[in-house]
A and B are shown apart, each in its own frame.
Chain A
Amino acid sequence: MARDRLHEMRGRVAIVGAAESDEVGRLPGKSALMLHAEAAHNALADAGLGAKDVDAVLSTGRQTANDVPEYLGIRPRYLDNTQMGGCSFIAHLQHALCIVEAGVAEVVLITHGESGASRVGMGGGDRFAPDTPPGQFEMPFGIGGPPTRYALAQARHMHEYGTTREQVAEVAVSTRKWAQRNPRALMRDPITVDDVLSSRAIAWPIHLLDCCVVTDGGGALVVTSADRAKDLRRKPVWVLGTGEATCHSIISQMPRFHVWDAAVMAGERAWAMSGAKPSDVDLAMLYDAFTIVPILALEALGFCKPGEGGAFVANGRTAPGGALPMNTNGGGLSYTHTGMYGMFLLVEAVRQLRGECGERQVAGAKTAVCHGTGGILSASATAILSTER
């Protein structure tokens, strides 16, 4: 394709409703669909809209595209169940932009609900069944959960660039400082680099405090056109740029373990569409399933050069009071991580850009970048949001 038309869509749609489920954390009394519904209810209330206003539902999880609309009693004219892992909802934002601009829908509801810790109403379906590519070519070698596989990227990054576990651990320490300012965060006790290094080994070089928490929760967004946004109760948060990309599905097929190619591609697309650059950003919401992931993202998105991510996060640069506020909700590392955490990046960015964040508010925040991982660094989606267009 010679050139996409996304740049023409810069600032043409806005997020006009954003909310999470009533609670996040350990919620054994709620199923995944209940969390979708609670978040959808809250986001529509935030937008001042009702179910009847919604003409597109974008969601994903273990269900089909029909399940969330049925549960909510909505009969959308457009359905989207794009499943690329935790960044899916950022990709959904790009899809929302496209369908609103194409005139397929005007009010788009994007929902997430996941009982990641309590496993209530999560259904079955094994993506790693023995007759799938990961089931045949990765599972037999003892991959278990995500830490073993993300560790493969960190080990190669350490080898290529001399990145140290100490540098990477700074991400956990800085993020915990933000969590201390978020009363909803699961983990709020202060931690040090030594605490991270001496926490028990899960899959070297990843230790326990390099890993995100595992929780239940949901979130939802309402997205609409500039025209419709004018009459709504919330100050619009404009979508300036979006990008999505994939470079592999199973980690053993990752083209370069020390460079996150999907993030490079998604980021380039989003920056180009937005006309913004990293130095324009007041807030970075970078998916932190593990401490290495935001470091890879900072490099891929151009906040620093390849290999310099470890040095970049030193001295609290991303902590409260630092030059680049990052993951101000406390991140997947300390706030909440349901499994597909990407929705929470967007909701926090909206809250920050609206100035609703209380003790953790980034003063005067105007522009934010949200960036997610899907699968095992398999996919990426990036969104650049702003109070102005």
Chain B
Amino acid sequence: MAEEYKAPLPNPTPDSKPFWEGARRHELRLQRCRTCSEAYFYPRNVCPGCLSTDVEWFTASGRGTLHTFSIVHRGLKVTPLPMPYVLAVVELEEGPRMMTNLVGVPADPEHVRCDMPVVLEWADVTPEATLPRFRPA
């Protein structure tokens, strides 16, 4: 039997709820400003490019590159993956960056490179919460 998932989970707020509801459906929902066309993440009700409130949701491709990473060896009591694991910042092909985990590759700097292509993989970690993870493309 799988062990109970104990790592921190998000408590969505009104601005972020569409993102986390999209995650449950395995849709990567981002926002775009209708005024300046900037796509952005994390979710908010104003555009961080121009402060317009005229913003819309869209579904991203799930493709991107590994912008930077660290390999976590110790220091946490509860972790989303067994240590060592790759803490990652992915740059989505639509432009925004997001924190995530890189899976499907040894957690070793010999095997993980900045700018490597990556692709989204959803993780249904509890019946209520789904987290975006990425693996090498």
10 additional contacts (CB under 8 A) given A136-B10, A140-B9: A131-B13, A142-B85, A144-B75, A144-B76, A144-B79, A148-B72, A200-B73, A203-B71, A203-B72, A204-B70
Name B's interface SS. loop
A137 touches B97 (CB 8 A): no
Distance (whole angstroms) from the CB of B128 to the closest CB of chain A: 12
Q: How far is the CA of A176 from the CA of B84 in the complex (A)?
A: 29
Q: Is the CB of B72 within 8 A of A257?
A: no
User: In the complex, which residues of chain A have a beta carbon less than 8 angstroms from the beta carbon of B20?
Assistant: 136
Q: Does A138 contact B (CB under 8 A)?
A: yes
Q: Which of B28-36, B50-58, B98-106 contacts A (4 or more CB under 8 A)?
A: B98-106
* 12 A-B pairs (CB sep. < 8 Å): A130-B10, A131-B10, A135-B11, A139-B10, A140-B131, A142-B76, A147-B75, A156-B67, A159-B114, A203-B72, A204-B70, A251-B89
CA distance A138 to B80 in the complex (A): 11
Q: How far is the CB of A127 from chain B (nearest CB, A)?
A: 13
Q: Do B69 and A140 touch across chains, with their CB atoms under 8 A apart?
A: no
Contact in complex: A153, B131 (CB < 8 Å): no
Residues in chain B within 8 A of chain A (CB atoms): 7-13, 16, 20, 42, 67-76, 79-81, 84-85, 87-89, 97-101, 109, 113-115, 129, 131
A residues in contact with B98, CB < 8 Å = 137, 252
Q: For the complex formed, measure the closest distance between the CB of B132 and the CB atoms of chain A, giving whole angstroms.
A: 9
Closest 4 CB pairs of A and B: A151-B70, A130-B11, A144-B76, A136-B10
| Interface residues of A, Cβ cutoff 8 Å to B | 128-131, 133, 135-145, 147-149, 151-156, 159, 200-206, 250-253, 257
Given the contacts A140-B80, A141-B100, A204 and B73 also touching, CB distance less than 8 Å: yes
Residue in B42, B79, B89, B129 whose beta carbon sits within 8 Å of that of A142 in the complex: B79
Complex: how many Å from CA A140 to CA B72? 14
